[in-house]
């Protein structure tokens, strides 16, 4: 099934409903469909083999997703915040692309030196031409690639994930009921356009019949204003945005009466933050969504009912689910495996494997990385409880090996974040002559607070095993994070290593 059909169905079911609100532009489903048809004509006339977008998103994202699909080409939104050099490097990896860029980024795209790509167009020029172009309508093979996304590349070279039409439509039709939104429902979208959450938001809200209100550059005050002004009923944020929203809500008298559902995901949200948000917005249903680019977005959700149940539970097994990502969505199977590939029973920790039609696991230039039975290794450490709730314990690449013992940073982070003198924390391993790796807790205290490192070490020591006590605790004003709030651990480790060379500290003290 082609993603074009999602728009076709939306336009035939609800032609006059407002589909997109983006700045001063408002488009009905029918208008979006016509513009995408014209856009497909512009793309087809360029003789390009791929479509690229560099810009802040808004209406351009759904427009280009569907225009490219109707022209039968794959589409890649690229991170506009990258350096010109990095943007051009990614563009060169794509075949004969037509590059559409918001005007501030046209220069960065460098029309003269893309190499393979001969065509660069300003976003406004593209829209103007799409309004008058002869429509084109190709019917791509459902197994053809619809979207190529570059992973954020917390490891070296960004990987180009290929999502087929079938991957994306399986996700949308499997998790969203067509036209299930109420006529006045609206979603506020502030996730980046080059992220899988941006792509899935454009597809699933359209299919649900929910107006998409775009906030391309996130600002917490503006987010709160737009919720009220556009009577927004659902929104999705990453944890760093939630933190800022909560700060605004705590300062002023905002009730957000229209908001029914607030989803968060993209990286781990600390429990104290989730609890604060739940208390501030008692009428809102919170949703924790977990997924990867390679899985066409969400594969597990912790529902509003799960949140409420966990929040009020006296049974510790139920209460701890507030820190889980909930249960798999329909069509997704999950397994936890040990390092030898054996499937583990509930409550044992291993690597998460997933399977389902929305799972691509295919990279450009590499091919599919699924095993013989179609399972995809997420490289996330995870545990399932007896009722099927999934707990994510960080990336397996981040595991610290200290004195031969494997230590998941998430275990220490989940504990430290609950200390009232810790606002944010990352735990990393640094090279150490005695232990192989030493555990360093990088702590961001609340403003004006100066915690005692020994007290924090003692706090961990009394709750976890001694070998899991941080060897050192250092303090920072903020942690380096990516767009969705993922902590950039490599950067932290690099910085610690540099400091160490400068300071030449005494041998790391032993802690059993």
Residues that bind another protein (CB under 8 A): 1-2, 5, 8-9, 12-13, 142, 166, 173, 175-180, 187, 197, 200-201, 203-205, 207-208, 210, 234, 236, 261, 263, 265, 285, 287, 289, 297-298, 301, 303-304, 329-330
Contact 466, 510 (CB under 8 A): no
| Pairing mode, strands 367-368 and 376-384 | unpaired
Choose between 180 and 434: whose C-beta lies nearer to another protein: 180
Q: Angle between the 453-461 and 409-416 helix axes, to the nearest 10 degrees?
A: 110
- CB-based contact 422:445 (threshold 8 Å): yes
Pick the closer one to another protein by CB: 185 or 414.
Answer: 185
Q: Sheet harboring 74-78: ordered strands across?
A: 119-122, 97-101, 50-54, 74-78, 145-150, 160-164, 362-363, 367-368
CA distance 490 to 421: 25
C-alpha to C-alpha distance for 13 and 8, rounded to whole angstroms: 9
CA dihedral sign, ordered 496, 497, 498, 502: positive
The residue (of 85 and 305) whose beta carbon lies closer to another protein is 305
Q: Which is nearer to another protein, 259 or 428 (CB)?
A: 259
CB of 178 to another protein, least distance (A): 2
Least CB distance to another protein at residue 289 (A): 4
Secondary structure (3-state) at 464: coil
Cα–Cα distance, 130 to 120 (Å, whole number): 15
Nearest distance in Å: CB 300, another protein = 10
> What is the Cα–Cα distance from 334 to 298, expressed in whole angstroms?
13
Q: Give the pair of three-digit tokens for residue 411.
A: 């275990």
Give phi and psi for 227, each to the nearest 5.
-55, -45
Q: How many CA atoms lie within 13 A of 120 on its CB side?
A: 20
Closest to another protein by CB, 286 vs 435, is 286
Q: Which of 5, 116 has the CB closer to another protein? A: 5
Output 34 or 179, the one with its CB closest to another protein.
179
Residue 370 CB, nearest approach to another protein (Å): 18
What is the number of alpha carbons within 13 Å of residue 426 lying toward its C-beta?
23
Return the number of the residue (176 or 456) whose C-beta is nearest another protein: 176
Q: Which residues contact 331 (CB under 8 A, 6 or more apart)?
A: 170, 174, 175, 356, 357, 358
Of the pair 13, 104, the CB lying nearest another protein is at: 13
Beta-carbon contacts of 33 under 8 Å, excluding residues fewer than 6 positions away, are 7, 8, 10, 11, 66
């Amino acid at each position: 099934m082609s993603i074009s059909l999602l728009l076709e169905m939306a336009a035939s079911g609800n032609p006059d409903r407002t589909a997109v609100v983006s700045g001063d532009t408002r488009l009905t489903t029918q208008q979006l469909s016509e513009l995408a048809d014209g856009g497909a004509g512009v793309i087809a006339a360029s003789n390009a083999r791929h479509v690229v977008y560099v810009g802040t998103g808004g209406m351009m994202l759904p427009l280009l997703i569907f225009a490219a699909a109707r022209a039968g080409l794959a589409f890649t939104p690229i991170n506009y915040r990258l350096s010109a050099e990095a943007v051009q490097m990614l563009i060169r990896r794509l075949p004969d692309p037509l590059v559409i860029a918001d005007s501030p980024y046209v220069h960065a795209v460098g029309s003269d030196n893309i190499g393979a790509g001969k065509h660069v167009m300003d976003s406004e020029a593209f829209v103007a031409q799409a309004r008058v172009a002869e429509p084109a309508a190709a019917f791509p093979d459902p197994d053809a690639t619809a979207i190529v996304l570059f992973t954020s590349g917390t490891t070296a070279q960004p990987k180009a994930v290929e999502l087929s039409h079938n991957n994306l439509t399986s996700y949308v039709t499997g998790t969203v009921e067509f036209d299930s939104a109420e006529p006045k429902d609206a979603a506020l979208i502030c996730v980046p356009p080059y992220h899988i959450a941006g792509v899935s938001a454009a597809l699933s809200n359209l299919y649900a019949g929910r107006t998409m209100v775009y906030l391309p550059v996130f600002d917490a005050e503006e987010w709160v204003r737009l919720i009220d002004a556009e009577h927004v009923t659902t929104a999705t944020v990453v944890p760093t945005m939630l933190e800022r929203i909560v700060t605004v809500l705590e300062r002023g008298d905002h009730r957000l009466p229209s908001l029914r559902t607030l989803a968060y995901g993209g990286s781990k949200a600390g429990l104290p933050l989730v609890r604060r948000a739940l208390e501030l917005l008692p009428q809102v249903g919170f949703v924790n969504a977990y997924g990867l680019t390679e899985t066409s977005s969400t594969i597990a959700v912790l529902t509003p009912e799960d949140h409420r149940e966990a929040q009020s539970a006296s049974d510790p097994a139920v209460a701890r689910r507030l820190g889980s990502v909930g249960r798999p969505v329909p069509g997704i199977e999950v397994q936890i495996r040990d390092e030898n590939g054996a499937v583990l029973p509930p409550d044992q920790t291993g690597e998460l494997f997933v399977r389902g039609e929305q799972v691509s696991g295919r990279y450009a230039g590499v091919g599919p990385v699924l095993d013989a039975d179609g399972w995809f290794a997420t490289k996330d450490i995870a545990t399932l409880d007896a009722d099927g709730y999934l707990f994510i314990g960080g990336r397996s690449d981040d595991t610290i090996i200290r004195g031969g013992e494997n230590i998941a940073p998430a275990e220490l982070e989940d504990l430290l974040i609950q200390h009232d003198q810790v606002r944010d924390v990352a735990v990393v391993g640094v090279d150490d002559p005695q232990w192989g790796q030493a555990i360093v807790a990088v702590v961001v205290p609340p403003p004006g607070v100066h915690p005692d490192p020994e007290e924090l070490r003692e706090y961990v020591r009394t709750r976890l095993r001694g070998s899991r006590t941080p060897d050192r605790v250092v303090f920072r004003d903020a942690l380096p994070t990516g767009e969705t709030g993922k902590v950039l651990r490599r950067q932290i480790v690099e910085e610690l290593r540099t400091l160490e060379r400068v300071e030449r500290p005494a041998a790391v003290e032993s802690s059993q």
